[in-house]
Amino acid sequence: MTPGTTDRPQMSIEEFEQLARTAPETVTLEFINGKLEVKPVPDGTHGAIVVWLLKQCMQHRPELVLHPEQGLKIEAYRSGRARADGALAPEDHFVGQGEWADPAGVLMAVEVTSHDTDANRRDHVDKPDGYAAAGIPVYLLVDRDTCTLVVYSEPLRGRYRNRRVSAYGETVELPDPVGISLKTEKLKDYAS
């Protein structure tokens, strides 16, 4: 394998967490597959999509909250760090857990793509594998480039066994334990 993979990480988790703590507010860092990643600063449309999804989750599952920008320990042995655009969990689930929380009890991780060159690899390959390895039951990717929602589910041995793609405007079923039907017509307003 090449340097910067899980076999030979660029740095230790402790070094990454120290770097992430001291990074300026305008930079969001992640540590995925042993590599330091810089997560792009979200634009207004990205934020609007997250708020839309947050409202949908609250309407259908008021006992849960879509926690925005939640830091999660992901991958096998919790050796990675990702800052999910949203993490669906009970309201007080992350209280006392610090910046990088254990993903146990998270029902769904959410990412909304940004328009950058690494988005495809990061959001379609690295993050699904990391979230699956962490045992998060559902991963929802809102892909702004293709105007689709991709629902990953049934994690097993570090991979999601099920992947469904739906176009903006379709009803998207988020499987149990999430159990929400998303009406996505509004996302057409956010297509670029």
**Helices marked H in 11-168:** 13-22, 44-60, 119-121, 127-133
Indicate the domain borders of the chain: 42-190
* pTM above threshold 0.75: yes
Q: What is the CATH number of domain 42-190?
A: 3.90.1570.10
Which amino acid is located at 141 in the chain?
Answer: L
pLDDT averaged per 10 residues in sequence order, the chain, 192 residues: 52 80 75 74 85 96 95 83 94 92 96 75 77 96 94 95 97 97 96 78
Please tell me the predicted confidence (pLDDT) of residue 173: 97
Count of CB atoms within 10 A of residue 177's CB?
Answer: 13
